[in-house]
């Protein structure tokens, strides 16, 4: 959606809003859009792209789904939005990213740089403060705490600065409060908006070129029987919507942000998704855009594995014949 120059102008607009006191952190994003076709008969297979994304970007929170109003969604998110288990709420906001190094020495240097960066420290701390405030609206008084503050987590393609914030839902009529009510109060993820949240969303809506769609939202589940839930922030995600493929990327802007560094962070975050679409590294320089290169001979079925669950009742597998037919198909 944005050229390099346009995105940098928006970074400066964010910093101007911060200087005026409208916000103190803004998560500015853009989207890279391409075609699922290469001009011939070849088309990107969403499932193949998801499997390559899992290979290139193995993370804790992955999802592949088809949503009628959106299309296919291939998500490889490293960030937990919100987990609820036995009345305990856990959020793990991410702010601060570095690429992996070319060798162990460079990798260690990048980890040290991330862990000691005043700018990343400020970004992360602001989001932690926002998350703490959000949790205090739904959790028992005095239960919100931060057991892990700014720990570096390393993934295949990048290092991330992660904090963990927890709280306990109140008891209502003998049961913990509904996780759905907690999700409503906590949404959207503070790491994808900025702070203060409402004003940040207003500023970003005026700056970004279009709606984010499912990007920066949340994917997960709610288990009504035991009141548990687990949701990831929709980042490092590819959306296949008919004639277009999009992936969102961005970063937090604070008063001390460097425009070039913020642009470079956008490219780092986009690389795994672009690789999963093309099968090779894609160079992005002045434009946010990419020509998709299709490799029709690369089959996703080579890496596909099927897990089947069966009900064992009194020593007998229920509907065994149907399971056998499914495997045969």
CATH number (domain holding residue 265): 3.60.120.10
Cis peptide before 258 (omega within 30 of 0): no
Residue of 10, 25, 79, 208 marked catalytic? 79
Return the ∠ at Cα 126 (arms to 235 and 20), rounded to 5°.
105
Residue of 92, 95, 197, 269 marked catalytic? 95
How far, in Å, CA of 288 to CA of 284, rounded? 7
Question: Are 252 and 18 a contacting pair, CB within 8 Å?
Answer: no
Cα-only R_g, the chain: 21
Tens of each residue's pLDDT in the chain, 329 residues = 788 889 999 999 999 999 999 999 999 999 988 877 755 556 788 888 898 898 888 888 999 999 999 999 999 999 999 999 988 999 999 888 888 888 999 999 999 999 999 988 988 998 999 999 999 999 999 999 999 999 999 988 889 999 999 999 988 766 677 888 888 889 999 999 998 999 999 999 999 988 999 999 999 999 888 888 999 999 999 999 888 899 999 999 998 889 998 998 888 888 888 888 876 655 555 454 444 444 444 445 445 566 677 888 887 888 888 878 877 76
> Is 269 considered catalytic here?
no
| Structural domain total, the chain | 1
How far, in Å, CA of 155 to CA of 55, rounded? 12
> Is 313 considered catalytic here?
no
What is the domain range of residue 282?
Answer: 4-328
Q: How far is CA 238 from CA 41, 66, 174, 269, 272, in A?
A: 21, 12, 42, 12, 10
How far, in Å, CA of 322 to CA of 48, rounded? 27
């Amino acid at each position: 959606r944005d050229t390099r120059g346009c995105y940098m102008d928006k970074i400066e607009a964010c910093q101007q809003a911060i200087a005026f006191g409208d916000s103190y952190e803004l998560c500015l994003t853009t989207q890279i859009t391409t075609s699922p076709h290469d001009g011939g008969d070849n088309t990107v297979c969403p499932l193949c792209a998801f499997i390559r994304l899992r290979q290139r970007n193995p993370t804790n929170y992955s999802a592949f789904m088809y949503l009628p109003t959106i299309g296919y969604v291939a998500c490889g998110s490293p960030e937990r939005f919100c987990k609820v288990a036995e009345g305990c709420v856990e959020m793990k906001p991410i702010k601060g990213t570095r690429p992996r190094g070319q060798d162990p020495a460079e990798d260690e240097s990048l980890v040290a740089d991330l862990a000691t960066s005043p700018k990343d420290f400020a970004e992360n701390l602001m989001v932690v403060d926002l998350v703490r405030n959000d949790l205090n609206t739904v959790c028992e008084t005095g239960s919100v705490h931060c057991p892990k503050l700014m720990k570096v987590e390393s993934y295949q393609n990048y290092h991330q600065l992660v904090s963990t914030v927890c709280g306990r839902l109140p008891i209502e009529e003998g049961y913990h409060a509904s996780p759905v009510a907690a999700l409503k109060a906590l949404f959207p993820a503070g790491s994808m908006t900025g702070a203060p949240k409402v004003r940040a969303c207003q500023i970003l809506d005026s700056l970004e070129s279009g709606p984010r769609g499912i990007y920066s939202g949340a994917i997960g589940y709610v288990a009504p029987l035991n009141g548990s839930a687990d949701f990831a922030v929709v980042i490092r995600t590819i959306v296949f919507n008919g004639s277009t493929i999009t992936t969102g990327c961005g970063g937090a802007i604070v008063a001390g942000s460097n425009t070039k560094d913020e642009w470079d962070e956008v490219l780092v975050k986009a690389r795994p998704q672009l690789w999963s679409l093309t099968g090779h590294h894609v160079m992005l320089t002045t434009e946010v855009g990419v020509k998709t290169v299709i490799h029709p001979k690369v089959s996703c079925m080579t890496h596909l594995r099927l897990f089947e669950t069966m009900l064992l009742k009194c020593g007998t597998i229920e509907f065994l014949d149907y399971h056998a037919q499914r495997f045969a198909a």
